[in-house]
Amino acid sequence: MSNINLTVDQLNEIKPLEIILDENVKQRFILIHDTLWGNGKEAYERESIYFNRLLSEKPEFANNVTHFSIFTAFIDLAVCGLSVEPGVRALCYLQGRRFCIGQNERGVKQYEPRLVLTISGYGELVLRARCGQIKYADNPVLVYKEDNFSFSDNGERKSVKYTCNLPHTSGDIIACFMKIVRTDNSIDYAVMFQEDWERLSNYSAENNKYWDKTRNEWVKNPNELYSSNNGNIDTGFLMAKCIKHAFKTYPKVRIGKGTELQSEQPEDSQLMDDFYNLGDVQQMNQDPNPPFENSPDYSSGVQYAGDGQSAGDGGTAPADTPAAPKEEMPEDDGAF
């Protein structure tokens, strides 16, 4: 796309908080944003402030992830045309992930911490409307025990019948649905039932388990938002999950190599243009079962997965402890 070139070695020589301020990185961002969306200079001035603010709030995080991943996460903002402006309905956010880069001489997996740009369900709505897959989508609706609700799918048409009956004295949520209007004015519904998020909670518990040396056993640790609402799932978390899972069967949208959609498995590969001009570099493929920490909410900024240890867990299993059986990647890892 241009002759603005950088190498990984050059990036490694730049301080983490100065990477996106580098003139070559700046020009690369502006060029891509201008080419794809326009207003590249304005977008750079805005997003560089948000991006560095998030990194500066977590210096221990910025100093641990690879410099190359910081660069790709920032360039991916230009590719997607979104913003990392914090908020309850943030379009995308920065997340620390550990990627398997091989094994040591003892056969123990070695992980490399990287910065990943993750597009939230709200950001995915923007992307899919922009590329013409949907016209618009209503806000997710929570269905309580007191309400009347039914969902039907005859193979050609989905329909929902819903009546809100106030007051919701029980506080028990039994379903969540979202109405999607396609560009041809046909209607689609995304529906989640209680058994769906209970299943996701089990996936989260399995994927976020840690080794407790004191108890000498694996301890399953599901995302706390699955039960933080007086034993029920957090309402905002559920609405985001509904958006997240609404587009699993839709065509893919263009994102960067260092970017994840919440609604897609991390191992899903996508053919992308080389927006980075860094030549041949190691592909950012995530290990199919990475032992990263449970993450409550990233909509307000950056969180760091650290070295795999959480307070009181005693760390990962010792070298002479049999590893847990390798499993397929869960549908949901509990991170949001």
**What pLDDT is stored for residue 146 in this prediction?**
95
What's the pLDDT at 61? 74
**pLDDT score of 10 more than 80:** yes
Q: How far apart are CA 42 and CA 46, in angstroms?
A: 6
More confident residue, 263 or 186: 186
DSSP letter, residue 107: S
Q: How confident is the model at residue 189 (pLDDT cuts 50, 70, 90)?
A: very high
Strand partners of residue 114: 97
pLDDT at 276: 52
Q: Write down the pTM of the prediction.
A: 0.66
Q: Please give the angle made by the CA atoms of 69, 73 and 79, to the nearest 5 degrees.
A: 140
Secondary structure class of 180 (helix, strand, coil): strand
Q: Which two tokens stand for residue 60?
A: 């221990």
Confidence of residue 141 (pLDDT cuts 50, 70, 90): very high
Instruction: Kindly report the number of other CB atoms within 10 A of residue 24's CB atom.
Output: 15
How distant, in Å, are the alpha carbons of 15, 118, 156, 268 from that of 276? 19, 18, 43, 20
Length of the chain in residues, anyone? Answer: 336
Give the residue with greater pLDDT, 217 vs 40. Answer: 40
Do residues 184 and 133 lie in contact, with contact meaning Cβ atoms separated by under 8 Å?
no
Q: In angstroms, what CA-CA distances link 195 with 210, 263, 333?
A: 25, 18, 17
Question: At how many degrees (to 10) do helices 235-246 and 121-130 cross?
Answer: 30
Please say whether the beta carbons of 97 and 113 come within 8 A: yes
**56-61 mean pLDDT:** 80
Distance of CA 167 to the CA centre of its chain: 34
Report the DSSP beta bridge partners of residue 181: 136, 187
For residues 58 and 55, give the distance between their C-alpha atoms in angstroms, rounded to a whole number: 5
**Stretch 11-40: mean pLDDT, rounded?**
93
How many CB atoms are located within 10 Å of the residue 13 CB?
Answer: 8
pLDDT tens per residue across span 285-319: 444 434 333 333 433 343 333 333 333 334 444 44
